[in-house]
Amino acid sequence: MATTIPAPPASALELAEKNFRPAAVEADLYEWWERSGFFKPDEGSHERPFVMMLPLPNVTGDLHLGHALGFGGYEDLIARWHRMRGEPTLYMPGTDHAGIIAQYVVEQELAKEGITRQQLGREKVLEEMWKWMDHYRPRIEKQLRLLGCSLDWSRPNFTMEPSKQRAVRTHFIRLYKRGHLYRDDRIVHWCLQCQTTYSDLEVKHVERTDPLYYVRYPWAGAMPAGTPDVVVATTRPETIVADVAVAMHPDDERWKALVGKEVLVPIVERRVRIIADEAVDPSFGTGALKITPGHDATDFEIGKRHGLPVISVIDKRGMMTPAAGSLAGPDRDTARAMMVSKLRAKGLIVREEQVTHAIGVHERCGTVDEPLVMKQWWVRMDRLAPPAIAAVRDGRITIHPRYQEKVFFNWMENIRDWPVSRQIWWGHSIPAWFCRDCDAVIVPDEDAPDPTRCPKCRSDDIYQDPDVLDTWFSSALWPFTTLGWPDETPDLRRYYPGSLLETGYDIVFFWVARMIMMGLEEMGDIPFHSVYLHGLVRVGSVKMSKSLGNVVSPVGLIEEHGADALRFALVNGVAAGADSQLSQDRLDHARNFANKLWNISRFALRQIDEHPEAFHGHTADQRPQAMGDEARWILSRTDAAIAESSRLIEGYLFGEYLAALEGFVWGELADIYVELAKPSLRSGDATETVRTLAYALDRVLRLLHPSMPFITETIALQLWQRTGKSEPSASLVVSRWPEPGARDSALEERFAVFVDVVRTIRNLRQQAGLDPSARARVSLAGETASIRELLGQIGELTRSEVTVGRGEGTATVVRAIEVRLAAKRDAAGERERLERELALARDLVRRSRELLGREGFAEKAPKEVVEKERAKLAEREERVRLLEQEIRRLE
């Protein structure tokens, strides 16, 4: 920690308005936190560090709500909690150069000025890319600060910075030398728009209806009479010119006898064989599939199995190549129409129908996939995947919520090799050179400079692979490149492996799985111990996406409601891993809750100001030695809230944690304790009450700080300025998370009765139509022992004089206590009400008796459960008796 800590901002110390105004304090507080070094891990600590890497946002534009959920909602909550637990906490910032997406975005910008990347050339486009990065990186970093993320900004990271380029080069070379990387001609997804390949994961399937043509392939030789025609169904007739076979399912009785015979590919008149392959679906079309290895992934695989040649008739721009013969020249759509009319002219189209099928499109731009066969770099998965599967299988890495592990296994166990070449310009260059004279592939040694001549044939006519690497190739290394790898840095030693990886479940395959594989490969150890996967945030009920134009900027929401309200609203009450939606209601509610806390604090601070003597020799963070019931009660409940909060956060139940905390702060501290505190504050000795109020507030601020850092810090500064605190920390950020004290469950049980009685009296008052501001008289009879000490408090919350004993007036029974309010009785109406209550009460008695009388219950259920049920039955029976008595009295 910094040796001298600057003074906290005056704005936070002075804000005293009736409503909390986030804009007045947030920027100042963040700046103070950052400048004071609170977000740097304590290097001197011997505690085990907590390490979490930011899921590096793409430098493609501003942050959206999904980022706010992950970064501000979950990660910062988790980081702040660990920091408060005394763990040296490293929440590592960084951004991603975002390869294809970023280049696509910048190209769109250029297109607005009518410029294409080809016109500009590689150098200039890269200049534009860097300009974009230089513009958006600070903006993104600013937005992370607005969210309140406690990132260690002294350790900035960017995937394209020189140190990362060196790391990627090293990694590539090592993978290559170890045999995990190979180069091969294989079919890949090609984007005509982006002019690059992409991986299976980046293919989106969309439903589309297209004409399905049934095309007859004439027999090559004479066939016996009655031999059926071979008819294939296709949506892509333009690829017929690249057909090299027709395939049937081996078990298809219709065609079995014809396997091995030859047909003529229409128009090109090529003789091809009929083959049998399991991949053919006999129920589709006629059960005969045309095989086009050059332009279909399935066909490519089938072709490989049968040793068929590959014919490519479509080029990278989507134009028909000379190999297409009479179709050469036009684009693929025009060629399709041309082919259809040619086939029609020859009478080869036997049928045409509409078919709805799934077609692949590039998820970034929506362009229909064009499978092409190209020479590409591939990462072999056969040896990288098994250790990653094992790490999760044997629990070295746990994924929360746990069911996501099944999803992980399902994918990893069917994983396919990963194509990592991209034909764009923005990205990590590939440290591989090719020799024009002997075709050698040259990958230099790790620390060697770029090669200048071919080691095989000594030619100096070599060139570097012009492709760049998939973005995820570099982000897979994030857990260790951020720590200085491949150098053996102190950071790498201290902070690897990390503790937790928090991200959305939608990038498990893209990123999480690959980090695990590469961590194990390069570091020989898992990259993190746990993974927490949050759900997706929707706006209203619609998924947020750029194409739908409903991307919400968190910045506007922060300006309007404050970062705390946004952070709280995004997480409160959301089940682990579940998708959620952010609505105006949720935001308003969160803001209202923040305001509630603010006003509890204003009340407490005013009381402290009026009773300064309470803090001579005592501080807000010291648990007061309370005597009074209500003080002891709220202290016990505070301890319950502490224990509950810790338990829920440890269990990754963040939504529950906030919901439970809100219930405590609003429903118990504000609605009950603050009200009970008022009379004793007016009386002579307020010391105990003020101290209790301050202490409860101090605890609540700590408990809530991980989610609502700004408001809690503002209040804490104001509180501690008045009361002092025993802990030396200058800020709530680096204060200790509370430990729960001993609870008084007997007292809590008495207060549960108390709360029931209060509600019953208030209800009775309203039913009787009493003037809300008038004082009433209430008498309690029956089993009043547990609340005998709390009569004054009951009176305080119900504006009543409360006595024990028989009284007059309108009555009801709660638990086994008769409650009577001095008011005029409406005999008929009251009788009706009491009869209704009696019926319900009898039903409850019946249920209790049934449960207790059931065979096996008394023997098999835990003793406490049986005891509790017996007590409940007794109370219910007494309530029935009292209600009956009351009804009789009405007669």
Partner RNA sequence: GGGCAACUAGCUCAGCUGGUGAGAGCGUCUCCCUUACAAGGAGAAGGUCGCUGGUUCGAGUCCAGCGUUGCCCACCA
655 part of the interface to RNA, by CB under 7 A: yes
* Nearer of residues 127 and 588 to RNA, judged by Cβ: 588
616, 860, 863, 889: residue in contact with RNA (rule CB under 7 A)? 860
**Interaction with RNA in 122-151: which residues (CB under 7 A)?**
none
Answer for which of 165, 595, 619, 687 binds RNA (CB under 7 A) is 595
Residue 683 found at the interface with RNA (CB under 7 A): no
Question: Would you report the helix, strand and coil content of the chain in percent, each value rounded to 5?
Answer: 50, 20, 35
Distance CA 731, CA 562 (A): 20
Torsion of CA 814, 820, 825, 828, to 10 degrees: 30
Within 398-437, the residues that bind RNA by CB under 7 A are 403-404, 406-407, 410-411, 414, 416
Q: Which stretch binds RNA (CB under 7 A): 116-124, 129-137, 594-602, 818-826?
A: 594-602
* Smallest distance from RNA to CB 842, Å: 11
When binding is defined by CB under 7 A, the residue of 101, 280, 732, 791 that contacts RNA is 280
- Give me the half-sphere count of Cα atoms (radius 13 Å) on the Cβ side of residue 295: 27
Please give the residues from 286 up to 325 whose contact with RNA meets the rule CB under 7 A.
Answer: 287, 289-290, 296-298, 301
* 855 sits near RNA (criterion: CB under 7 A): yes
DSSP string for residues in 809-861: SEEEEETTEEEEE-S---HHHHHHHHHHHHHHHHHHHHHHHHHHHSTTHHHHS
Q: Tokens for 611? A: 């009773």
Helix (H) or strand (E) holding 355: strand 349-362
Q: How far apart are CA 670 and CA 596, in angstroms?
A: 8
- Applying the rule CB under 7 A, the residues between 600 and 629 that interact with RNA are 600, 602-603, 606
* Bridge partners of residue 206, in order along the sequence: 359
Cα(167)–Cα(148) distance, rounded to whole angstroms?
30
3-state secondary structure of 501: strand
Q: Which residue's CB is nearer to RNA, number 303 or number 486? A: 303
- The per-residue b/e assignment along 323-349, b for 16 or more CB within 10 angstroms, e otherwise, is bbeebeebebeebbebbbebbeeeebb
**How many CB atoms sit inside 10 A of residue 412's CB?**
20
Window of 59-67, 431-439, 611-619, 857-865 that interacts with RNA by CB under 7 A: 857-865
- Please report, as residue ranges, which positions from 366 to 395 form the binding site for RNA (by CB under 7 A): none
Among 72, 99, 285, 498, binds RNA (CB under 7 A): 285
Residue 758 near residue 791 (C-beta atoms within 8 A): no
The residues, ordered by sequence, that sit 6+ positions from 637 with a Cβ below 8 Å of its Cβ are 664, 668, 669, 748
> For residues 262 and 675, which CB has a smaller minimum distance to RNA in the complex?
675
Our CB check for RNA shows the closer of 402 and 436 to be 402
Q: Are 84 and 155 in contact (CB under 8 A)?
A: no
Output the CA torsion sign for 163, 169, 174, 175.
Answer: positive
Q: How far is the CB of 556 from RNA (least distance, A)?
A: 16
Give yes or no for residue 214 binding RNA (CB under 7 A): no
Residue nearer to RNA on the CB measure, 21 or 183: 21
Return the number of the residue (465 or 639) whose C-beta is nearest RNA.
Answer: 639
Comparing CB distances to RNA, the nearer of 619 and 763 is 763
Q: Of 659-678, which residues contact RNA (CB under 7 A)?
A: 659, 663, 666, 670-671, 674-675, 678
* 867 contacts RNA (rule: CB under 7 A): no
> Of 281, 437, 835, 867, which lies in the binding site for RNA, with binding defined by CB under 7 A?
281
CA 743-747-753 angle, 5° bins: 135
Q: Which of residues 182 and 411 has its CB atom nearest to RNA in the complex? A: 411
- Binding to RNA (CB under 7 A): which residues in 334-363? 355, 357-359
Backbone φ, ψ for residue 126 (5° rounding):
-65, -35
Segment 537 to 556, residues that bind RNA, using CB under 7 A: 541
Closest among 230, 262, 870, 206 to 547, alpha carbons compared: 206
For residue 215, the SS3 value is strand
Out of 428, 586, 632, 699, the residue judged to bind RNA by CB under 7 A: 586
Binding string to RNA for residues 174 to 213, with x set by CB under 7 A, is what? --------------------------xx-x-x--------
Residue 215, strand partner residues: 232, 349
Smallest distance from RNA to CB 797, Å: 8
Nearer to RNA (CB atom), residue 678 or residue 806: 678
Q: Does residue 234 belong to the site contacting RNA (CB under 7 A)? A: yes
Least gap, CB of 819 to RNA (angstroms): 13
Q: Which amino acid is at 612?
A: P
Q: Which is nearer to RNA, 32 or 300 (CB)?
A: 300
Contacts of RNA in 64-103 (CB under 7 A)? none
Piece of 28-36, 434-442, 746-754, 861-869 that binds RNA (CB under 7 A): 861-869
Judged by CB under 7 A, the chain residues 10 through 69 that form the site for RNA are: 18-20
**Cβ 415 to RNA shortest distance, Å:** 9
**Residue ranges in 793-852 that form contacts with RNA under rule CB under 7 A:** 815, 840-841, 844, 847-848, 851
CA atoms within 13 A on the CB side of 215: 30
Cα dist. 365→195, 203, 205 in Å? 11, 10, 13
405 vs 830: CA distance, rounded Å: 59
- Give the shortest CB-151-to-RNA separation in angstroms: 28
Nearer to RNA, 189 or 705 (CB): 189
Q: Is 179 helix (H, G, I), strand (E, B) or coil?
A: coil
Which CA distances in Å does 824 have to 175, 303, 810, 829? Answer: 89, 94, 7, 12
Nearest residue (CB) to RNA, 596 versus 831: 596
CB of 281 to RNA, least distance (A): 4
The residue among 438 and 575 lying less far from RNA, judged by its C-beta, is 575
- Strand ranges across the sheet with 800-804: 800-804, 776-782, 817-821, 810-814
Closest CA to 291 of 337, 230, 346, 342: 230
Contact between 640 and RNA per CB under 7 A: no
> Is 129 or 231 the residue whose CB approaches RNA more closely?
231
Q: How far is the CB of 48 from RNA (least distance, A)?
A: 25
Torsion of CA 760, 762, 765, 771, to 10 degrees: 180
Q: Which of residues 457-496 bind RNA (CB under 7 A)?
A: none
> How far apart are alpha carbons 106 and 125 in whole angstroms?
9
One of 2, 10, 865, 890 touching RNA (CB under 7 A): 865
Alpha-carbon distance 418 to 410, whole Å? 17
Residue count at the site for RNA (CB under 7 A)?
Answer: 101
End-to-end CA distance of the chain: 77
Looking only at residues 553 through 582 of this chain, which bind RNA when binding is defined by CB under 7 A?
Answer: 573-576, 578-581
Looking only at residues 250 through 279 of this chain, which bind RNA when binding is defined by CB under 7 A?
279
One of 30, 255, 418, 509 touching RNA (CB under 7 A): 509
**Binds RNA by CB under 7 A, chosen from 85, 174, 494, 596:** 596
Which has the closest alpha carbon to 634: 596, 670, 607? Answer: 670
Give me the least distance between CB of 297 and RNA, in Å please: 5
Give CA–CA dist 205/471, Å, rounded.
22
Binding residues among 714-753 for RNA as defined by CB under 7 A? none
Q: Scanning residues 758 to 787, which ones bind RNA (CB under 7 A)? A: 758-759, 762-763, 766, 772-773
Among 591, 632, 691, 699, the residue binding RNA under the rule CB under 7 A is 591
- Contact pick of 868, 870, 871, 885 for RNA (by CB under 7 A): 868
